Amino acid sequence: MWNRFDKERHLLNLYDNPHFDPATGIDDYVLLRTGIRETAEQYAGCSHPIIKAKTIAYLLDHTALEVNPVDWFGFNFCGWFTAKKGEELHEPRKPLQFLSSQWYGELKEPAEFREAGAHIDETGAVIFWCDYDHSVPDWDSIIGLGFGGILERARHYHQKHRDDGTLTADMEDYYVSVETVYEAIIRFMKRFAVCAKSRIHEDPKMPIVVECLETISEGAPKTLYQFLTLIYFYHLMQEYLDLIQVRTLGNLDVDGYPFYCKDLQEGRLTAEHTEELFRYFFEKYTLQGHQHGQPLYFGGFDENGDSLINDLSYIMLTAYDKSCIVNPKLFVKVMPNTPDAFLKKALDMIRRGHNSLVFINEELGCKISRKLGRTEEETKRLVGTGCNNFASRGKETTPEHMYVNLAKGIELAFNDGKDPRTGAFIGCHTGEVSNFKTFEDFKAAYIAQTECLIQKAFVISDFYDSHLLDINPAPMYSGSMPGSVECGRDAYYNGLKYNNTVMFLSCHATAADSLMMVKKYVYDQKIVTIEQLRDALLADWKGYEELRGMLLNDPEKFGNDMDSVDSLAVEMLNHFTTLVTSRKNKRGGHFVVNGESIWFSHFWAEKCGATPDGRARGDLLSKNMSASIGQDRRGITAHIKSVTKIDATNLAYGCPFDYMLHPSAVKGEDGLNAMLGLLRTFMKRGGYGYQGNVQDAAILHDAQEHPENYPNLQVRISGWSWFFTQMERKFQDEFIRRAEQEIGI
Q: Quickly list H helices, 329-397.
A: 340-351, 362-371, 376-379
Residue type at 346 in one-letter notation = A
pLDDT at 86 exceeding the cut of 50: no
Sign of CA dihedral 256, 259, 262, 264: negative
Whole-angstrom Cα distance, residue 21 to residue 508?
Answer: 54
Instruction: Say if residue 49 is preceded by a cis peptide, omega within 30 of 0.
Output: no
Using one digit for the tens of pLDDT, what is the confidence trace for 644-700? 999 999 999 999 999 999 999 999 999 999 999 999 999 999 999 999 999 999 999
Band (pLDDT 50/70/90 cuts) for residue 731 is: confident
The answer to whether the CB of 640 falls within 8 A of the CB of 559 is: no
Whole-angstrom Cα distance, residue 381 to residue 741?
Answer: 40
Sign of CA dihedral 218, 223, 226, 228: positive
85 inside domain: no
Band (pLDDT 50/70/90 cuts) for residue 34 is: very high
260 inside domain: yes
293 inside domain: yes
Whole-angstrom Cα distance, residue 518 to residue 516?
Answer: 5
717 inside domain: yes
Whole-angstrom Cα distance, residue 417 to residue 408?
Answer: 10
572 inside domain: no
Q: What is the pLDDT of residue 82?
A: 55
What residues have CB less than 8 Å from 399, skipping those under 6 apart?
130, 131, 132, 134, 464, 465, 468, 492, 501, 502
Whole-angstrom Cα distance, residue 487 to residue 37?
Answer: 31
φ, ψ at 390 (rounded to 5°)? -110, 150
Q: How many domains does the chain have?
A: 1
pLDDT at 115 exceeding the cut of 80: yes
Q: Which residues pair with 385 in a beta bridge?
A: 389
The answer to whether the CB of 602 falls within 8 A of the CB of 510 is: no
pLDDT at 85 exceeding the cut of 50: no
The answer to whether the CB of 96 falls within 8 A of the CB of 241 is: yes
What residues have CB less than 8 Å from 152, skipping those under 6 apart?
145
737 inside domain: yes
In this prediction, what percent of the chain has a pLDDT beyond 70? Answer: 98
Using one digit for the tens of pLDDT, what is the confidence trace for 471-526? 999 999 999 999 999 999 999 999 999 999 999 999 999 999 999 999 999 999 99
φ, ψ at 294 (rounded to 5°)? -100, 115
Q: What is the pLDDT of residue 514?
A: 98
The answer to whether the CB of 81 falls within 8 A of the CB of 288 is: yes
The Cβ of residue 701 has, within 10 Å, a number of other Cβ atoms equal to: 14
Whole-angstrom Cα distance, residue 449 to residue 419?
Answer: 12
Reference 650, options 589, 598, 595; nearest CA is 595
pLDDT at 19 exceeding the cut of 50: yes
Q: What is the pLDDT of residue 472?
A: 98
Band (pLDDT 50/70/90 cuts) for residue 541 is: very high
Whole-angstrom Cα distance, residue 132 to residue 397?
Answer: 9
The burial class, CB within 10 Å (0-12 / 13-18 / 19+), for 7 is: exposed
The answer to whether the CB of 32 falls within 8 A of the CB of 95 is: yes
With vertex at residue 613, the alpha carbon angle to CA 609 and CA 618, rounded to the nearest 5 degrees, is: 35
Strands 402-405, 501-506: parallel, antiparallel or unpaired by DSSP? Answer: parallel
Strand blocks (E) in 578-637: 591-594
Q: What domain range includes position 281?
A: 250-384+656-745
Q: Which residues pair with 593 in a beta bridge?
A: 503
Whole-angstrom Cα distance, residue 271 to residue 500?
Answer: 41
With vertex at residue 150, the alpha carbon angle to CA 147 and CA 152, rounded to the nearest 5 degrees, is: 110
With vertex at residue 365, the alpha carbon angle to CA 475 and CA 326, rounded to the nearest 5 degrees, is: 70
Helix (H) or strand (E) holding 657, with range, is strand 656-661
The answer to whether the CB of 225 falls within 8 A of the CB of 208 is: yes
Whole-angstrom Cα distance, residue 304 to residue 221?
Answer: 28
Using one digit for the tens of pLDDT, what is the confidence trace for 398-430? 999 999 999 999 999 999 999 999 999 999 999
Using one digit for the tens of pLDDT, what is the confidence trace for 172-226? 999 999 999 999 999 999 999 999 999 999 999 999 999 999 999 999 999 999 9
Using one digit for the tens of pLDDT, what is the confidence trace for 718-730? 899 999 999 989 8
Q: What is the pLDDT of residue 233?
A: 98
337 inside domain: yes
Q: What is the pLDDT of residue 291?
A: 72
Q: Quickly list H helices, 541-651.
A: 545-553, 563-581, 600-603, 635-643
Using one digit for the tens of pLDDT, what is the confidence trace for 130-177? 999 999 999 999 999 999 999 999 999 999 999 999 999 999 999 999
Query: Looking at residues 625-636, what average pLDDT do you find?
Result: 95
pLDDT at 632 exceeding the cut of 70: yes
pTM: 0.96
Reference 386, options 374, 398, 372; nearest CA is 398
Band (pLDDT 50/70/90 cuts) for residue 599 is: confident
Using one digit for the tens of pLDDT, what is the confidence trace for 434-484? 999 999 999 999 999 999 999 999 999 999 999 999 999 999 999 999 999
Whole-angstrom Cα distance, residue 45 to residue 34?
Answer: 19
C-alpha Rg value of the chain to the nearest Å = 26
What residues have CB less than 8 Å from 240, skipping those under 6 apart?
80, 81, 92, 93, 94, 95
725 inside domain: yes
Q: What is the pLDDT of residue 718?
A: 87
Provide the mean pLDDT of the chain: 96
